[in-house]
């Protein structure tokens, strides 16, 4: 196993696990979850099955999409995402609750800001490692690569906005109040929907790819 491949494995594993940590931070900040979780909240509100089962079903559908269009997007990171990310997020949220049991609004905004940065940075690392991505991440990546006219950052913004709109509409259809919806869709959701794609692209070009290429070859 050469040094470059070991580095890719490290980037992939740590990238996905740190994404899980950031999801727990998003939840503890309670200022809105990321776009995909917004969609999942809406689906959970209208489909009467256990959330864990629903999450697996949705990810399996997205997995079939990725397998049909670009199997190279499925790999180590995909498996870690499917089987470990939820547990890491739960552990992270519990840890944040112990450290910040009753966070002030300023602290919540601070947690949110850190969560956004580390989620984008971690995503850039495991994207660049090229050992698979999450089934949701694969959608924007495949779209950008197949049509080549719209960059990934824009494709990601579009898919994120679609998730947010669908999530809100589903929550409204389930009879959620405005207060209940804002618990899922807040400033954190808006920021990630519009800026996560560009930030991932920036971190990929400025940090993740230079890190991988340093002392090694392209994957």
Tens digits of per-residue pLDDT, 121-150?
999 998 899 888 888 888 998 999 888 888
Give the least confident one: 86-100, 117-131, 134-148, 173-187. 173-187
CA pair distance 177, 158, nearest whole angstrom: 26
CA distance 19 to 138: 15
**The model scores a pTM over 0.85:** no
Rounded average pLDDT over 168-183? 78
Q: How much is the average pLDDT of 93-108?
A: 93
pLDDT band (50, 70, 90) for residue 98: very high
pLDDT at 179: 63
The rounded radius of gyration (Å) of the Cα atoms in the chain is 17
Q: Of 5-19, 151-165, 169-183, give the lowest mean pLDDT range.
A: 169-183
Please give the residue that has the higher pLDDT: either 4 or 85. 4
Give me the pLDDT at residue 124, please: 92
Determine contact, residues 13/76, Cβ cutoff 8 Å: yes
d(CA 144, CA 153): 9
Contacts of residue 182, defined as CB under 8 A and 6 or more positions apart, other chains included, come to 32
Q: Say whether pLDDT at 219 is over 60.
A: no
**To the nearest whole number, what is the mean pLDDT of the chain?**
86
What's the pLDDT tens digit per position in 1-38? 577 888 899 999 999 889 989 988 998 998 888 888 88
Listed range (50-54, 55-59, 96-100) with the worst mean pLDDT = 50-54
Q: Considering only CA atoms, which of 127, 116, 114, 109 is closest in space to residue 72?
A: 127
Asked whether the predicted pLDDT for residue 67 surpasses 90, the reply is no
First to last CA, the chain: 13
- Residue 64 pLDDT > 60: yes
Average pLDDT of the residues in 63-88: 83
pLDDT score at 5: 86
């Amino acid at each position: 196993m050469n040094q470059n491949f070991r580095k890719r494995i490290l980037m992939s594993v740590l990238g996905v696990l740190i994404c899980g940590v950031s999801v727990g931070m998003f939840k503890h900040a309670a200022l809105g979850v990321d776009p995909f979780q917004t969609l999942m909240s809406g689906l959970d509100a209208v489909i009467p099955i256990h959330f864990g089962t629903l999450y697996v079903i949705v990810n399996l559908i997205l997995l079939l999409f990725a397998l049909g269009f670009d199997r190279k997007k499925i790999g180590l990171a995909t498996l870690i995402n499917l089987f470990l990310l939820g547990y890491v997020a739960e552990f992270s949220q519990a840890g944040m609750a112990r450290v910040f049991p009753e966070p002030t609004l300023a602290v919540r905004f601070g947690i949110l800001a850190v969560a956004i940065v580390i989620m984008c940075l971690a995503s850039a690392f495991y994207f660049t490692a090229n050992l698979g991505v999450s089934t949701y991440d694969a959608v924007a990546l495949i779209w950008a690569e197949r049509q080549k006219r719209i960059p990934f950052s824009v494709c990601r913004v579009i898919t994120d906005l679609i998730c947010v709109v669908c999530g809100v509409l589903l929550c409204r259809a389930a009879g959620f109040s405005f207060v209940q919806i804002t618990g899922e869709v807040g400033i954190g959701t808006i920021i990630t929907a519009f800026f996560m794609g560009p930030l991932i692209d920036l971190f990929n070009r400025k940090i993740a790819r230079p890190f991988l290429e340093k002392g090694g070859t392209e994957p």
